[in-house]
Structure 1
């Protein structure tokens, strides 16, 4: 072999092995999208921590724990969609299990779960707060903001819209990378059957 200082065949530069060393495209796509999906799951966990901080006042009230600093923040009472969205975090373990085992069935369940428990509550939030956000955005300088729910001087609906923007991006990327993985895994299965 030329690379180990052995005899070199005349007429070759030692690079004739390249045609044999190619990784199939579906394996490259799979590896790339697995890595990207793991990053999305990480950002999903970060958003969950933000939501948990928001829900902490209600959770502590239900547990009969009084912490003055949290009570002074006067965090508005949560709506049911906030708790439902939190359950979408459990799906991340299903997704990680699916990419570890290349399991199409688990990944498909993960996709459906993200659409239902992730994007569904976010869509409800957008619809629920659209009146307040529209009223705040079309507000004149001399109008009063008494009808708009405020928290710490900021419009509450607009804060939720910022959260929805971030969370929906994470969920759409999760769906996109999962779809790419499903395509790559199906192509690999078709390739194996052809052999």
Structure 2
């Protein structure tokens, strides 16, 4: 509160009492920072999901017997099973968001396991599946050899998938890193309460 004119400053309020002020415990600072960062990672996970959903839209509409000429003209290749399994990782993100809200270690551990199972394993399968096409595209000097590669809209299909997989692996890696930091911070808080 501002005062006019000459004023008296009580002892200890001139900044010299900094050693006695309360501080926020380190685990709470770590928790707040990693919660925010994990929310950003989950947001990017949603963006990747919508990209995957756009790719799967032709197959989904075919299964529902809905014909959209513009989508059919794109000639989107048929999806593989790993693409649908990767989409399940979006459901796991809701578990992570619930764990953030309530600071639940068990839910966050389930989120980590879910990201590994439904996020990383399908992406690993995609890396192995398209490895031959990508390797052939990157190392081939003969145009005739490139005819054996699957192309879509003038681009090598495997290389497009590798770009998606690279982004997804990064998002999942940082999600797991921040989730692990949250688990460690929440466990240390629980240990201090027990003491």
Q: Which bracket does the TM-score occupy, shorter chain normalised?
A: over 0.9
Q: Are the counterparts in 2 of residues 98 and 104 from structure 1 also a CA contact under 8 Å?
A: yes
Are 2:87 and 1:86 aligned?
yes
Alignment match, 2:134: 133
Aligned to 2:149: 148
Counterpart CA distance in 1 for 2:15 and 2:33 is: 30
Partner of 2:180: 179
State the alpha-carbon separation in 2 of the partners of residues 107 and 151 from structure 1: 39
State whether residues 57 and 70 of structure 1, in contact with CA within 8 Å, keep that contact through their aligned partners in structure 2. Answer: yes
Q: Residues of 1 paired with 2:161 and 2:102: CA distance?
A: 36
CA drift at 1:31: 0.1
Contact 1:84/1:121 (<8 A) preserved:
yes
**Secondary structure of 1:147's aligned partner:** coil
Deviation of residue 19 (structure 1)? 3.2
What is the CA–CA distance in structure 2 between the aligned matches of 1:65 and 1:131, rounded to whole Å?
34
The corresponding residue for 1:65 is 66
1:9-56, CA deviations, whole angstroms, 9 ceiling, x for partnerless residues?
A: 2x7734415533210000000000000000000000000000000000
Q: TM-score normalised to the size of structure 1?
A: 0.93
Name the counterpart of 2:191: 190
**C-alpha distance in 1 between matches for 2:78 and 2:92:** 25
Distance 2:141 2:18 in 1: 72
Residues in 1 aligned to 2:68 and 2:98: alpha-carbon distance in whole angstroms: 38
What does the per-residue CA deviation read over 1:84-140, in whole Å, with 9 as the maximum and x for residues that have no partner? 000000011100000100000000000000000000100000000000100111111
1:8 aligns with: 10
Residues in 1 aligned to 2:100 and 2:69: alpha-carbon distance in whole angstroms: 44
- The unaligned stretches of length 5 or more in structure 1 are none
TM-score, length basis structure 2: 0.93
SS at 2:130 equivalent: helix
Matched residues in 1 for 2:49 and 2:187: separation? 32
The aligned length equals 192
Deviation at 1:3, TM superposition (A): 8.8
What is the match of residue 29 of structure 2? 28
List gaps (5 residues or longer) in structure 2.
none
What residue in structure 1 maps to residue 104 of structure 2?
Answer: 103
The CA deviation at 1:193 is: 1.1
Over the aligned positions, Cα root-mean-square deviation in angstroms equals 1.8
Offset of residue 145 of structure 1: 1.9
